[in-house]
Amino acid sequence: MSERIVISPTSRQEGHAELVLEVDDEGIVTKGRYFSITPVRGLEKMLLGKAPETAPVFTQRICGVCPIPHTLASTEAVEDSLDIEPPKAAKLLRELTLAAHHVNSHAIHHFLIAQDFVPENLMKTAIESVSEIRKNAQYVVDMVAGEGIHPSDVRIGGMADNITELARKRLYARLKQLKPKLNEHVELIISLVEEKGLPEGLGAHNQPTLATHQIYGDRTKFDLDRFTEVMPESWYDDPEIGKRACSTIPLYDGRSVEVGPRARFVEFQGFKERGVVAQHVARALEMKTALSRAIDILDELDTSAPVMADFDITGTGKLGVGAIEAPRGLDVHLAQVADGKIQFYSALVPTTWNIPTMGPATEGFHYEYAPHVIRAYDPCLSCATHVMVIDDEEKTPIKSEMVRI
C-alpha cells in the first residue's frame, strides 16, 4: 500500500521548500516531488521603469547567499542590452570576485552538511577549516568588489576602480598561503562523504546537465531559444502541490536539467559520476579549481589598466542576457533597456533549474535518505520564487503573469 510522507519545510538550506514522497510498503520512494513554498519577493517587477544602474543594486539583494552571482548576472545582462564591452581588467576583477565567492559558498555548504558526514572527533577541525577558508575568500571579495556581501564596486561598464599593486601582491600571497589548507579541507570532506556508506546510486537521475563555463559563465553558451518555462500546475501531477508551489519550472530542450558543480564538471571536465556522493565530490573539487583560477588572475592582472568602458545608457530595446555560473548553478538574468529605463527584467536562478530534478532524484531509495539528496544540491529557495500570490486565504497565483514576474 502506498503511503505519503511529507517533509515540510526541508532543513539546512536557504528559504523554505516541501518534499512530498510517495513510498511503498518497504519505505522506498516511488514518487518524489520537491517544490518551493517561500513567499515571492517581486524584485524583478520593482525594476521596471528604473535606471539601468539600479538592476545590480536591487538584484544582489534577492538573496544573501548568492549576492555576487546576481550582481554579475544583472550587470552583464544590462551591458548586453546596451552593447557595452567592459575592459579586460574589469572582466578579470569580476572573475576573481566570483572565484572567491565559489570558495566561500562551498565552504558554507560544508558547514551545513557537517552533521551528516563529520564525526564528533573531527567536528572542531572541520568547522575551524571552514571558518579559515571563508575568512580568506571573503577578504578577496571585500578588497576587489568593495564589500563582502553586496559588491558595490561592480558597475555597469566595468568596475569602480582597479586594485592597487600592493593589494594585488597581498591577495596573491594570501591565497597562495591558503592553498595547502584548502587542499587539506577538500581531501577531508571527500573522504568523509565517501566513507559515509550511502547507498550506491543514491540521488542519480537521467536528466541532462547544463553549464556554460567551468567557473565564471558565458552568455554565448546559453541559447534562449532552447529555454521554455511552464507553470507548476502544468508540471506537478498533484493539483494541490501545483497550486501551492512558488516557482515556475524551467526547461531546456523541453526537459528539466541539472545545474551546479557536478554539471560543470560533466560539461567541462568529463566527470562521469552521478548522485549524492558525486555532488559533494564535485563541489569540493571545485573549491580547488576556483582558488587556482583566483591565483592565476592575480598573477595576470595589470593593476594600471583601465576598468571602465565609455557607453551610452539610453539603450535600443535589445534583450540582454547575463549568464553567470553561481555556486549552485547557472544564474541567468534578462534585461531590456530603452529610453534610459528598464523595460523588462527576469531572473532565472540556479535552484529554479534544479527544483524539478531534485524530487525525482529521491526515487528508488528509502525515504530516510531523501534529505541527503536535497542537501547535496545545496538549494537556495529565496531567489527561485517567481509566483505572485494575490489571495492570502487561497494562495492563488496570477496564472497569466507568473512566467514573467
Cβ contact 108:86 at 8 Å: no
325 has binding-site annotation: no
Q: Determine whether the annotation assigns residue 386 to a binding site.
A: yes
Q: What count of other Cβ atoms lies within 10 Å of the Cβ of residue 186?
A: 22
383 labelled ligand-binding: yes
The three grid cell numbers given for residue 114, joined into one nine-digit string: 557537517
Q: Where are the alpha helices (DSSP H) in 113-260?
A: 114-117, 120-145, 165-194, 232-235, 239-244
Q: Note whether 71 and 43 are within 8 A (CB).
A: no
**Between vectors from CA 274 to CA 273 and to CA 280, what angle results, nearest 5°?**
90
CA dihedral of 242, 245, 247, 251, whole degrees rounded to 10: -40
Cβ atoms of 307 and 90 closer than 8 Å: yes
Judge whether 380 is annotated as a binding position: yes
Tell me the chain's radius of gyration from C-alpha atoms: 21
Closest Cα partner for 275 from 167, 170, 383, 198? 198
Neighbours of 115 (CB within 10 A): 11
The binding site for Fe cation comprises 66, 383
Binding residues: 44, 63, 66, 380, 383, 386
List residues forming the annotated binding site for Mg(2+): 44, 386
Binding residues for Ni(2+): 63, 66, 380
